[in-house]
Amino acid sequence: MIECREISVTYPGSQTKALQAVNLTFTKGEFICVLGKSGAGKSTFIRCLNGLQIPTEGEVIYSDQSLNKLSEAELRPIRQRTGMIFQQFNLIPRLSVMQNVLTGLFGSRPSFKNLTGLFTKDEKSAARNAIRSVGLNGFENRRVEQLSGGQKQRVGIARALVQQPAVMLGDEPVASLDPGTANQIFTLLRNMHDDLGLLTIINVHDLQLAKKYADRVIALKDGKVIFNGLPEMFGDREYEETYGDE
């Protein structure tokens, strides 16, 4: 479904590669966690998967299309089917839960419609269903700034869900949450993944979460893949290699 062929990223003005010749293949139905210490290249990697970052070398193939070769207009439907959740939630704090979730539909509508802020009955109903499925029934009109971190991430997930994603990407989505809430969010993501048959790829700092929820673990170090396999094969030696003296 997604294939990374020898992708490398060098940021302008930087001497080092943030990603170095990464070769990986991802299939529908897989739930994958990407581990690595700060600066290992996890965010850069996730951003390459939906065309937010175009590799300086190599290419990402998404359902037989090379992302390098697509125009912004051609990338749009791919991004629309790719839900993305973030560490800092990337919500609009002063707007309601409902209004934030509806922004997930922006990519599928003509821009002039987004300027009006008007949504159809069906769109509102889809947003309400997404809000219900993340456990926030009754919070539709609550302003996001009044919610806890875990509730905010649920709104982020509902916004991704309303896009009817085939792929769900997460860039450290639980890094700002306490361990109990982080587990609840991962349980929600895993259930959603199983129900909808998604491909889910999530950056996470916490090895225990990766071991508990992932089908496959990938570890990055200095932009290189140093582990790619079953969570139970990621042992002390792999931990030491990934995190070193952290």
Total number of residues that touch ligand ATP (CB under 6 A):
11
Count of CB atoms situated within 10 Å of the CB of 4:
21
Among 5, 8, 21, 39, binds ligand ATP (CB under 6 A): 39
Residue 15 within binding range of ligand ATP, rule CB under 6 A: no
Q: Which of 135, 160, 161 is nearest to 147 (CA)?
A: 135
Q: Report the nearest approach of ligand ATP to the CB of residue 37 (Å).
A: 7
CB 55 within 8 A of CB 9: yes
> Residue 18 or 102: which CB sits closer to ligand ATP?
18
Residue 14 within binding range of ligand ATP, rule CB under 6 A: yes
Residue 41 within binding range of ligand ATP, rule CB under 6 A: yes
Residue 67 within binding range of ligand ATP, rule CB under 6 A: no
Q: Report the nearest approach of ligand ATP to the CB of residue 40 (Å).
A: 4
Residue 83 within binding range of ligand ATP, rule CB under 6 A: no
Write out the DSSP string of 123-188: HHHHHHHHHHHTT-TT-TTSBGGGS-HHHHHHHHHHHHHTT--SEEEEESTTTTS-HHHHHHHHHH
Count of CB atoms situated within 10 Å of the CB of 62:
22
d(CA 202, CA 208): 14
Residue 210 within binding range of ligand ATP, rule CB under 6 A: no
| CA atoms within a 13 Å half-sphere pointing along the CA-CB vector of 69 | 7
Among 4, 7, 18, 101, binds ligand ATP (CB under 6 A): 18
Q: Report the nearest approach of ligand ATP to the CB of residue 42 (Å).
A: 4
Q: Which residues bind ligand ATP (CB under 6 A)?
A: 11, 14, 18, 36, 38-44
